[in-house]
Amino acid sequence: MSMEESISLEETNKIRISLGLKPLTDDKAPANDKDQEAEKNYANRKKAEEDDRRKGEIAKNIANHMLNNGLIFGATLGDAEEDVTMDAKNWIKKSKKKEKELAAKRQAELESMDKMAQATYDERDLEGLKVRHDMDKLNEGEDRILTLKDSRILDNEEDELQNIDMAEEEEDNKRHELKTK
């Protein structure tokens, strides 16, 4: 029976050095070094990609911030130093004054729009329009709202004004006549 005894690589190298021989090298070490190097390269690449992604996000946030700053008009809360010393009573007065100015401005705009609408639309604009109903059915002094008659675009019909109630009444009369026949 032979008993094998094994000693570690370090012990073997000590003995070889004492005998004047060159120490043995570990063959498994280079394989581990390649694996470790590959892992380090992979980790470095992932870190570089993450850094690039973060830099891109930061650049995007900076661009959005600059865009938003360009959209701000007037004084911001940080810029309004004169309002810091204003008490509540003065602030209310100032707010009411601004509100009155805005209301007056809106009223002036509405009045100018009304004047333009009245000035631009008169009887001359009605020339050439046809009324669908007979004039004897339209009683004088009676208010009737006339709208444009619905028609198909491809029919190339001229615009015609009609009263919806009167048009429905005419259609009902036609249906009634068809039933009686």
**Per-block average pLDDT, block size 10, for the chain (181 residues)?**
69 91 74 81 95 95 83 64 71 93 96 82 73 76 81 78 88 91 76
pLDDT on residue 53? 96
β-sheet bridge partners, residue 130: 160
24-35 as b/e, with b when 16 or more CB fall inside 10 Å? eeeeeeeeeeee
Phi (first) and psi of residue 162, to 5 degrees: -150, 155
Domain boundaries defined on the chain = 9-71, 83-121, 124-180
C-alpha–C-alpha distance, residues 174 and 107, integer Å: 50
pLDDT on residue 1? 44
pLDDT on residue 27? 66
Other C-beta atoms closer than 10 Å to the C-beta of 162 total 20
pLDDT on residue 138? 75
Q: Are 16 and 25 in contact (CB under 8 A)?
A: no
pLDDT on residue 68? 80
pTM of the model: 0.31
pLDDT on residue 74? 62
